[in-house]
Amino acid sequence: MTRRVAGWQSDCARRVLPAVEDAAQHTKLWWGAAAVMSLAGWRGRRAAVAGLASMAVAELVSNAVLKQVCERERPPKEWISHEDVHERPDSSSFPSGHTAAGVGFTAAVAAVWPLAGAVCAVPAAMVATERVHTGAHYPSDVAAGAVIGLAAAALVRKSPRLALRLLR
């Protein structure tokens, strides 16, 4: 499946996915979305805070815990048939922290403001696709990142105080 997704030759994938990768670096995409939502009044600010808290928990679990415990090589560069393979980090491929952050942010936002969550779901899906397309992750890494993001959103929704304690 990694080879198949990485082998997409569509012009749309070649134009859009690198831009998505740039926007998703260092969670800029989700911070920007939170800033825009916060301009929409009380509901938008509440959705932005929930999204950012969930994103932080998802990144903590995926990057600070699981990537340190699980050692998995990134997909071989030979599997990527295009030139969109950038320098990849030396960290474990498992799980996808980008996907965890995007899904965590989106799921938490959707619980507070469903329309904004639906809008955020589009770039979240594109980030997940981009991670496989550029050879940074296997599909299972992305799936695990999505599960972590959903769990983080559920934690923030059910126990916001516990989520905030984890971040301290």
pLDDT digits (tens, 9 = 90+) for 122-148: 999 999 988 888 888 889 999 999 999
Strands (E) in 5-159, as ranges, are none
* Residue where the block lists tokens 């990057």: 63
**Predicted local confidence at residue 44, as pLDDT:** 94
C-beta of residue 102 within 8 angstroms of C-beta of residue 148:
no
**Predicted local confidence at residue 13, as pLDDT:** 66
pTM: 0.85
Domain that holds residue 84: 2-167
The number of distinct structural domains making up the chain is 1
| Confidence band for 35, pLDDT divided at 50, 70 and 90 | very high
